[in-house]
Structure 1
Amino acid sequence: MYVPTHFDEPRTEVLHDLIKQHPFGILFTHGASGLDANHIPFELDPQRGGMGVLNAHVARANPVWKDVSDGDEVLVVFRVADAYVSPNWYPSKHEFHKQVPTWNYMVAHAYGRIAIRDDERFVRSVVARLTRTHEASQPAPWKMTDSAKEDIDAMLKAIVGLEIEITRLVGKSKLSQNKEVRDIRGVGEALKTQGDHMIGDAMLACADAKPA
């Protein structure tokens, strides 16, 4: 990924937080069958390994877990937010008429080594943690014990676990940091007005942090 210096997000703790908030990633592999991409919800354990470990599961029928080998390098992309930027949102455009359209976005790329975990205990723990995390906001959170044991056991046999030790994290937050403060703020406010609150708020924070 091309990352100009002004768009670089190098802080591990910030990237970990983005992954936790947006855990649905794209797993890119290059196995025996060639390039492949799978869309998977991940769980990040930031305390394991030097840069954290990603855990997930896929259907046993998904060939990805047979197509790669333990230790193969993989890439997981987490797209946090993105939005089209109109030149009309830059105050300077109306003075100098030099701005052009662009697209702003926030992403985190996690490179790592994959390991296939085809064991019931690992898979059960991954499913339990994912469920606990994403059911937490429900009025009556669903838990695995709400279903019949035989149904859960059958479901667990139909999936395979994946474990990825992160070896490198690359973050890019393209938030018009190369523009004037008034232009960053103008775009941020316009994005929030149209409902793109996350990237809009990020741009407003960027404007607040940049010297005028």
Structure 2
Amino acid sequence: MFIPKIYKSEDQELMKKIISENAFALLISDKEKLSATHSMFLLNETDGDFYLETHISKANFQAKVLKDGDEVLCDFLGAHSYISSSWYEKTNVSTWNYEAVQIRGRVKLMTDEELYRHLEKLTFKYEKVQKCPMFVENMGEDLVRKEMKGAFGINIIPTEIFIANKLSQNRNEFDFENIILNLGESNNENSVKIGEKMRQLRS
């Protein structure tokens, strides 16, 4: 994706935060035909580097065609909100503020053991906050291995990273503060988040 320089970020911590908080994202490929699947992602860090993990149903078209070395694009959309031109001091166009990450990478198919560990980590991430967490070890290995026969596990080794952090950086102080004020009065959770992120940007 094209990101104007003013909105382009190199902040790896911001990237990790966007991925972690918006992990249900798009896996996009164009092998044989353009395809996209919503799936759960994990970011796995090793020795300063990182790669992505995900799995999709084996019934999915992408599971039938993707092989080691194929290129995919992973698209993560974070908080986002409409910005009305009525909030500006002078007449201008409306826009949209947002944070997003796109990672282009190469596929490395998971082994059965890697898929099992992936499901353990993924389940732990979302079950640990439940009142009565159901971890993989509570389900029984036989059941999990039976169910995972229908899953297609993928590691994605990044080749390009794009981080967009569009938060009205091009606006003067009056517009910037007025945008925050209006976003804070919204009943939309994403709008409130964008306002908070704008405030943090100039705090």
TM over 0.5: yes
Percent identity over the alignment is 28
Residue 160 of structure 1 and its aligned partner are, at CA, apart by 1.6
Residue 48 of structure 1 and its aligned partner are, at CA, apart by 5.5
Report whether the alignment pairs 1:125 with 2:123: no
> How many residues are matched?
200
CA distance in 1, matches of 2:55, 2:65: 15
CA distance in 1, matches of 2:149, 2:25: 23
What's the CA shift string for 1:125-148, capped at 9, x where partnerless?
A: 111101101112212222123335
- Which of 104, 113, 116 is the equivalent residue of 2:106? 113
CA distance in 1, matches of 2:107, 2:48: 13
Structure 1 segments of 4+ aligned residues over 6 angstroms from their partners: none
Equivalent residue number for residue 10 of structure 1: 10
TM score, norm. by length of structure 1: 0.87
RMSD: 1.7
Equivalent residue number for residue 201 of structure 1: 196
Corresponding letter in the other structure for 1:108? V
TM score, norm. by length of structure 2: 0.91
Corresponding letter in the other structure for 1:151? L
- Which of 157, 161, 165 is the equivalent residue of 1:173? 165
Secondary structure at 1:203 match in 2 = helix
CA distance in 2, matches of 1:44, 1:63: 24
Equivalent residue number for residue 29 of structure 1: 29
Equivalent residue number for residue 143 of structure 1: 135
Secondary structure at 1:55 match in 2 = strand
CA distance in 2, matches of 1:165, 1:172: 20
What's the CA shift string for 1:149-171, capped at 9, x where partnerless?
A: 44322211111210001122111
Q: Which runs of 5+ in 1 are unaligned?
A: none
Residue 68 of structure 1 and its aligned partner are, at CA, apart by 2.0
Residue 172 of structure 1 and its aligned partner are, at CA, apart by 0.8
Report whether the alignment pairs 1:100 with 2:63: no
Contact 1:55 1:164 survives alignment (8 Å): yes
Residue 49 of structure 1 and its aligned partner are, at CA, apart by 7.2
Secondary structure at 1:42 match in 2 = strand
Residue 189 of structure 1 and its aligned partner are, at CA, apart by 2.5
CA distance in 2, matches of 1:14, 1:146: 34
Equivalent residue number for residue 144 of structure 2: 152
Corresponding letter in the other structure for 2:157? E
CA distance in 1, matches of 2:24, 2:122: 11
